[in-house]
């Protein structure tokens, strides 16, 4: 049984159909990439899975129908969303941002300490800036904080929306190295990313979206070798 099953998912914004009847699966331990141009429906798909936008179709997580659930209920089950634009709380310190993510496990103090150590091992700069407001961080550091906050929730499925957006090439490489390290811990990842080169190198499988529909899917290496993908997204 896949960890995540999306069946005939459709999302409308007024008269605009942003996602048009797509189906996809993510197996436990996989990294699955959603690639496509701006406006293809990638971010909307993640927002629907997190139950942040109304949708039609069916969503199952670990065999449970999560379609009727609210966002906080989905998060409590282990679906953790790192949104496009990072979404950190700018007036709170780095530590306060991380602590907010433990809202559903306050009594697990030892586990929280272990997870905090893990986040600081992955992102030493966050430990250095632990008592600074998040607003004082660079864009790359805010992305690190957003991912670190997600890890503090101990999610089984990590939804990553454009983690490299707006970052310098050196930081992009660093962020993807961290995503690879997270993957090695067994965390399942559904990745939305415009940097198709980086996404397809990291992913096990990939889906290509165009105007709300899946037009290609398969093993990431196979998708990367498709002439349409090479021309449209890889600059070949």
pLDDT tens readout for residues 14-69: 889 999 999 999 999 999 999 998 889 999 999 999 999 999 999 999 999 999 99
Q: Is residue 14 part of a domain?
A: yes
Counting Cβ atoms within 10 Å, is residue 93 exposed (0-12), middle (13-18) or buried (19+)? middle
Residue 21 lies in a domain: yes
β-strands 31-35, 16-26: how paired? unpaired
Q: Which helix (H) or strand (E) holds 7?
A: strand 4-13
For residue 214, count CB atoms less than 10 angstroms from its CB and return exposed for 0-12, middle for 13-18, buried for 19 or more.
buried
pLDDT tens digits, residue range 56-111?
Answer: 999 999 999 999 999 999 998 999 999 887 789 999 999 999 999 897 777 888 99
CATH of the domain at 46: 3.40.50.300
In a domain, 11, yes or no: yes
- The residue range of the domain holding 216 is 4-85+154-232
226 domain residue, yes or no: yes
Whether the model pTM is above 0.75: yes
Tell me whether residue 126 is in a domain: no
Q: How far is CA 70 from CA 49, 77, 107, 141, 182, in A?
A: 10, 11, 24, 30, 26
Question: Hunting for tokens 């096990």 — which residue is that?
Answer: 204
Number of structural domains in the chain: 1
């Amino acid at each position: 049984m896949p960890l995540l099953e999306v069946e005939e998912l459709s999302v409308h914004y007024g008269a605009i159909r942003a996602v048009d009847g797509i189906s996809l699966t993510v197996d436990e331990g996989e990294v699955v990439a959603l690639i496509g141009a701006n406006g293809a429906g990638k971010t909307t798909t993640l927002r629907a899975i997190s139950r942040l936008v109304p949708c039609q179709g069916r969503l199952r997580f670990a065999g449970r129908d999560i379609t009727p659930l609210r966002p906080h209920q989905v998060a409590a089950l282990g679906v953790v969303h790192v949104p496009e634009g990072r979404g950190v709380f700018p007036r709170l310190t780095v530590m306060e941002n991380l602590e907010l993510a433990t809202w559903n496990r306050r009594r697990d103090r030892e586990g929280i300490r272990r997870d905090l150590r893990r986040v600081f091992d992955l992102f030493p700069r966050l430990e250095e800036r632990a008592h600074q407001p998040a607003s004082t961080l660079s864009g790359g550091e805010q992305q690190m904080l957003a991912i670190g906050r997600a890890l503090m929730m101990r999610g089984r499925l990590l939804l990553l929306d454009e983690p490299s957006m707006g970052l310098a090439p050196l930081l992009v490489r660093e962020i993807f190295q961290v995503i690879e390290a997270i993957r090695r811990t067994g965390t399942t990842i559904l990745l939305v990313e415009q940097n198709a080169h980086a996404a397809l190198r990291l992913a096990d499988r990939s889906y290509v979206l165009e105007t709300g529909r899946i037009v290609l899917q398969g093993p990431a290496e196979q998708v990367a070798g498709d002439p349409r993908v090479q021309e449209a997204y890889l600059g070949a």
